[in-house]
Amino acid sequence: MTVKMPKKKSCDVCIVGGGPAGLAALSAIHEPYTLDSMTSTQVNNANVTMGRRNGVGPSNHSVIVVDPSQWMDKWASNFRTLEIDYLRSPALAHPDHFDVNALLAYAVSQGRENELIESGCGKIKALHGLGQTQVGLWKLPSSSLFLDFCVDLAKKLKHDYMQGCAENLRQEESGGKYTLTLSDGTEIEASSVILALGQTGTPQLPRGLMGVVSDERIFHWKSMSSKLTPVHESVLVVGGGLTAVQVAQSALRKGKRVVLASRRPLVERHFDIDINWFDRRNSNLQVSSFYHLEEEERLRALKEVRGGGSVPPIYMDDLRKWVARGLLTLVTADPEYIGESGGRLSVALGGGSGKEFDCIILATGIKPDCSANPFVKNIINNFSVPTVGGFPDVSVDLEWRRNLFCVGALGSLNVGPDGANLMGARRAASIVANTLECKQWLREGDQCSALANKFHLFMEDSSDSDSGSDADGD
For the cut 60, the answer to whether the pLDDT of residue 345 exceeds it is yes
- Quote the pLDDT of residue 433: 93
| Helical segments of 141-273, H only | 143-156, 224-227, 242-253
Mean pLDDT of the chain: 85
Distance, CA of 407 to CA of 112 (rounded, Å): 31
Residue 309: left (phi > 0), alpha (psi -120 to 50), or beta?
left
Cβ burial of 473 (10 Å; 0-12, 13-18, 19+) is buried
> What confidence tens digit (pLDDT) does each residue in 196-222 have?
999 999 999 999 999 888 899 999 999
Supply the pLDDT for residue 454: 38
Cβ atoms within 10 A of the Cβ of 241, count?
23
Instruction: List Cα–Cα distances, 345 to 50, 147, 172, 297, 335, in angstroms.
Output: 67, 38, 55, 41, 11
CA–CA distance, 93 with 242 (Å, rounded to integer): 18
Q: Measuring CA to CA, how many Å separate 136 from each of 230, 322, 426?
A: 41, 30, 20
Distance of alpha carbon 117 from its chain centroid, rounded?
A: 21
Helix (H, G, I), strand (E, B) or coil at 44: helix
Tell me, what's the pLDDT at 466? 34
pLDDT at 151: 98
- Kindly state the DSSP code that residue 408 receives in the 8-state scheme: G
pTM: 0.86
User: Residue 304's pLDDT is what?
Assistant: 79
Q: What is the pLDDT of residue 448?
A: 44
| Domains located in the chain, CATH noted | 8-201+368-463 (3.50.50.60), 205-272+307-364 (3.50.50.60)
**Among positive and negative, which fits the CA dihedral 305, 262, 369, 97?**
negative
Q: What is the pLDDT of residues 83-140, one digit of tens each?
A: 999 999 999 999 999 888 999 999 999 999 999 998 877 676 666 555 555 568 889 9
Per-residue pLDDT tens for 245-303?
Answer: 999 999 999 999 999 999 999 999 888 877 777 666 777 788 888 888 998 999 998 88
51-95 pLDDT, tens digit each: 444 444 456 899 999 999 999 999 999 999 999 999 999 999 999
